Structure 1
Amino acid sequence: MTRLGWIILAVVLLFAAAFVSMTSFGTADRRMTRVDTPPPPPAETTAGPLVVPVAGVRRETIVDSWGDPRGGGTRGHHGTDIPAAQGTPVIAAASGTVEKLFRSVRGGTTAYVRSTDRRWIYYYAHLAAYAPGLREGQPVRAGQQIGNVGDTGDAGQGNYHLHFGMQRMRPGERWYQGEDVDPYPMLAARARGR
């Protein structure tokens, strides 16, 4: 074969290899996950949705605020805001252990509760105050008061609400390292016929 023949053969083989690397011939798993499919519920809530974390608030009144613009449009909202009167009790959405009590610029007075199976963090922000005696390492049960609705952090004065967030945790991750997950489907589940 001539030198030109070898070059043409090499080019053809390169194109064939590139084509094969980008093509599936039926051996791959063809299951697809819809982007809008809610994540599976945390293990301790498989019998139903999470407890609404603000006393007296009905599921059907919760509005989906996931992804709404924040910070002048520089970031998306990673949680569900639940408006309520100042001082309304904030209750644990699921059982777990208080992992961190923290005051931050954005979240204000916050509490992080890790689920009993350690796979989830439940995040409560803009609290006016913690429930009396609440401390890190304390076990809490679903429905137990952990604080009160406030407007701390960047909520804005008089904008009383609970910012409720969820993070999926991997083994060994700390309270601030999880992957944000939209909590709305598990807060409003019954209202949508689940």
Structure 2
Amino acid sequence: MKFADRILTVIITATVTSMVWIVAGGSLIENAGSDSQLEKTSPAKAAPSPSPDPGPSDPASSEQAGLETPISDQARNAAALNTRVARAPAEESTAGLLIPVLNVKPSDLSDTFTDSRGGGTRLHEAIDIMAPRGTSVVAAAPGTIERLFRSDAGGNTIYVRSSDGETIHYYAHMDEYAEGLREGQRVRRGQRLGTVGSSGNASPEAPHLHFAILQTTPDAEWWEPANAINPYPILSQR
């Protein structure tokens, strides 16, 4: 009987142990399927999805994006350089200009550049610098006297071309030329060229110097058409 009791005890113990393991295992399986456990064991599901391949760019979209993109410093500098190059001839011809009539102040000048002449058929494209007859006319800038010419309209005139050949300063209605002045002569800034007068078609009661700045090309003749620049804004700031 004692042996049979022992066998029964072993069987009961084994049965109870098996039941405990079954219950515990079921609990572990249930916990493994919970949301919190899935989150811990499946990090890939929480990661962001990869961006789709954008594929070939749309020309219209690219153009619009380009319009909204600020200009780079390099492009801005290039644009500024192009602007400086385009302005260089005009700036070079007007830098450091003197008022070409002695003792005339900037405040004495008047802007007559856009005044009409010839009964309204043409623009003046120069300024008239009023001064008493005989007042000295001086070179507004250095250059070479290309032509001393007396015309019906301009009277005693002087054409002085800049060293780069791209600008001509035109002086007209002069009473007389400075002694010894000749074509081909180099003149310095401020050098006396002659005197104010009213030769040509100027009124004897209003002696003045007709002064023009003409943009041209080195191979153009002194008498050929050129682009006139208004001297007033330049000289009135001196």
When the two structures are superposed, what TM-score results if normalisation uses the length of structure 1?
0.74
- Measured in 2, the distance between the counterparts of 1:182 and 1:119 equals 16
- Measured in 2, the distance between the counterparts of 1:128 and 1:81 equals 14
Identity rate, percent = 48
Which has the higher relative contact order, 1 or 2, with Cα contacts under 8 A spaced 6 or more apart?
1
Q: Look up the SS of the partner of 2:140 in the other structure.
A: coil
CA contact (8 A) 2:125 2:229 kept: yes
* Alignment pair present for 1:43 and 2:95: no
Q: CA RMSD in A?
A: 2.1
- Measured in 1, the distance between the counterparts of 2:88 and 2:215 equals 10
Change over 3 Å in CA distance of 1:40–1:118 after alignment to 2: closer
**Residue of structure 1 aligned with 2:126, choices 59, 62, 79:** 79
CA contact (8 A) 1:53 1:91 kept: yes
CA contact (8 A) 1:80 1:163 kept: yes
Partner of 1:117: 164
Change over 3 Å in CA distance of 1:129–1:168 after alignment to 2: same
Q: Look up the SS of the partner of 1:111 in the other structure.
A: strand
Q: CA deviation at 1:44?
A: 5.8
Residue segments in structure 1 that go unaligned for 5+ positions in a row: 1-25, 32-37
- Measured in 2, the distance between the counterparts of 1:97 and 1:170 equals 15
- Measured in 1, the distance between the counterparts of 2:129 and 2:234 equals 14
Change over 3 Å in CA distance of 1:42–1:110 after alignment to 2: farther
Partner of 2:234: 186
**Residue of structure 2 aligned with 1:60, choices 104, 107, 110:** 107
Q: CA deviation at 1:185?
A: 1.7
Give CA deviations for 1:15-73 in whole Å, capped at 9, x if unaligned: xxxxxxxxxxx8xxxx9xxxxxx996442653x4x100000000121111011111222
Q: CA deviation at 1:80?
A: 0.6
Mean CA deviation greater in 91-100 or 164-173: 164-173
Q: Look up the SS of the partner of 1:159 in the other structure.
A: coil
Looking at CA atoms only, which structure, 1 or 2, has the larger radius of gyration? Answer: 2
Partner of 1:145: 192
Higher helix share: 2
Higher strand share: 1
Q: CA deviation at 1:169?
A: 1.2
Residue segments in structure 2 that go unaligned for 5+ positions in a row: 1-66, 68-78, 80-86
Return the letter of the residue paired with 2:165. Answer: R
Partner of 1:13: none
- Measured in 2, the distance between the counterparts of 1:75 and 1:116 equals 30
CA contact (8 A) 1:44 1:95 kept: no
Partner of 2:210: 163
When the two structures are superposed, what TM-score results if normalisation uses the length of structure 2?
0.60
Q: How many residues align?
A: 154
